[in-house]
Amino acid sequence: MDDTMIQKYLDRIGWRGELSLCRETLDKLQTLHCNSVPYENLDILAGVPISMDADDLYDKIVERRRGGYCFELNGLYGWLLTWLGFQVGDFMARFLLDEDVIPMRRHRVLVAELDGERLLCDVGVGIEAPRKTILLEEGVIQNDGFRDYKVERDSFLGWVLWQKHDSGWKRFYSFTEEPQLPKDYIMPSFYCERHPASIFNKEQMIAVKTTDGRRTLDSEIFKIFTPQGVSTAVAGSRDEYTQMLKSYFGIIIENQ
């Protein structure tokens, strides 16, 4: 990894200007990343094994301009933040949204320590999620421009991120702070790739955030979310599907 690779990564997400070790930079990096690099599971559906190796992730996300899911996206993003000079911790999380029981750990999150503050960083969620860093301070309501968030501590779950909905506050995900190595994500990723109960190997899950909403592909239906509402489109052919992947998400499928 070198400065040229760092610059190509920054170009990939549309960063312009100087970088400084501050929260404003972290917020802007996270927003740009969420708006540029799609969340997607196409390799899983194609039977392509997911690699946690930084070189492989760099090739996929930066060189081939693909996306990935949390283990990939936050894995490479953590590498970027570390090379830029941020102090970053890597942790496992549990998705709690709409869950009736405590689920397994199958999400990867990052925490950056900066000027005495600890900031949750996450570019690996396809649904609506924080587009800026979240300060790990209990009870402080924080807004990313789209929703309100807050964090609380739980004796078992650790840090719990809450998300504000029209119906009220809902638990979004939780994480504890045992440091993880890249190899620690191989087993949960393998579960997501191969297990019969996994949601990731059933159908396409593609999403990218935009400055005014999101774009998604769910059950073969392309959707564009804006403040004015939701518009939908269904590809009428394989060629049209391939073109919509490129136009909506910047994804070019090899060998098509």
Distance CA 254, CA 256 (A): 6
Return the ∠ at Cα 184 (arms to 180 and 186), rounded to 5°: 145
Q: Are 38 and 127 in contact (CB under 8 A)?
A: no
Q: Which residues belong to the active site?
A: 70, 107, 122
Helix ranges, the chain (H): 3-13, 23-36, 42-46, 54-58, 70-84, 186-194, 238-249
Spatial neighbors of 228 by CB under 8 A, at least 6 apart, are none
Q: Taking each helix axis as running N to C, give the angle between helix 186-194 and helix 70-84, from 0 to 180 degrees, rounded to the nearest 10.
A: 150
* DSSP count for the chain of H helices, then E strands: 7, 12
Q: Are strands 134-135 and 168-175 parallel, antiparallel or unpaired?
A: unpaired
